[in-house]
């Protein structure tokens, strides 16, 4: 008797629900490498070659919608999503696993890692390794006392500059104007970044995807909310 193969389907978000926000300053339990050379990227990318390395990082990737889009847009480059929440990162990992099974030979260039990007980024990426970093709809931390928790601040911008190559890009998108102004203010103040012109933003092929590829972006579009975009170049 021939046994029927098990059907594979994408995971359902209702089984992975978690609070929308997490305290990035708290001492979460993370295993992290002492040095980027200690990372076994083969565990994340089954077809990685010795001359390949991660070039795109989606910081706070949420449920992975934009990460999947990156994998489709750039099939020959490696992208990783970093997510601090346990169940959400589990969902993205299961989603990628299902996509790889459903579409043989595809989506081997994306992966998800549960970690705290505000603390451990240099433990995973070498100097000038990344070409693009994405901060899409980050937690606004509205209360003034919690502004220190915001993912964009002067100290962290120096770390981001360390792992970004010269000419690398930082993409930011939010639906909160106050947070957008905060991001622009801090990044324009930092000596290692310059903002792209409106024309450069419009001609970037990634820009249209920023509005609706992520789950948060789709929700903003559905609710007819505002989008505030700013892209910066590492100089």
136 annotated to bind ligand: yes
80 annotated to a ligand binding site: no
At 10 the pLDDT is: 75
Q: Answer positive or negative: Cα dihedral of 45, 50, 55, 57.
A: positive
Q: What predicted TM-score, i.e. pTM, was given to this entire model?
A: 0.88
d(CA 163, CA 121): 8
* 13-26 per-position pLDDT tens digit: 655 565 555 555 55
> Domain 54-234 is of which CATH architecture?
3-Layer(aba) Sandwich (3.40)
pLDDT in tens, 69-86: 999 999 999 999 999 998
139 is catalytic: yes
Catalytic residue among 58, 131, 139, 175: 139
């Amino acid at each position: 008797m021939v046994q029927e193969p098990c059907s594979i389907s994408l995971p359902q978000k209702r089984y992975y629900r978690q609070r929308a926000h997490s305290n990035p300053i708290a001492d979460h339990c993370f295993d992290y490498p002492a040095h980027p050379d200690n990372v076994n990227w083969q565990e994340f990318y089954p077809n990685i070659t010795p001359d390949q390395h991660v070039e795109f990082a989606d910081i706070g990737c949420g449920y992975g919608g934009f990460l999947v889009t990156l994998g489709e847009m750039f099939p020959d480059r490696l992208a990783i999503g970093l997510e601090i929440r346990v169940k959400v990162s589990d969902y993205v990992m299961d989603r990628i696993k299902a996509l790889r099974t459903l579409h043989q030979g595809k989506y081997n260039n994306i992966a998800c890692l549960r970690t705290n990007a505000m603390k451990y980024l240099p433990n995973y990426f070498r100097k000038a390794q990344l070409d693009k970093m994405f901060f899409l709809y980050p937690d606004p931390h509205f209360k003034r006392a919690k502004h220190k928790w915001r993912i964009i601040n002067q100290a962290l911008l120096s770390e981001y500059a360390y792992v970004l190559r010269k000419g690398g890009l930082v993409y930011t998108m939010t639906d909160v104007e106050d947070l957008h102004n905060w991001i622009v203010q801090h990044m324009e103040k930092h000596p290692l970044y310059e903002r792209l012109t409106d024309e450069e933003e419009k001609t970037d092929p990634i820009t249209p995807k920023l509005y609706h590829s992520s789950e948060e972006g789709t929700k903003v579009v559905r609710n007819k909310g505002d989008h505030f975009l700013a892209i910066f170049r590492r100089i």
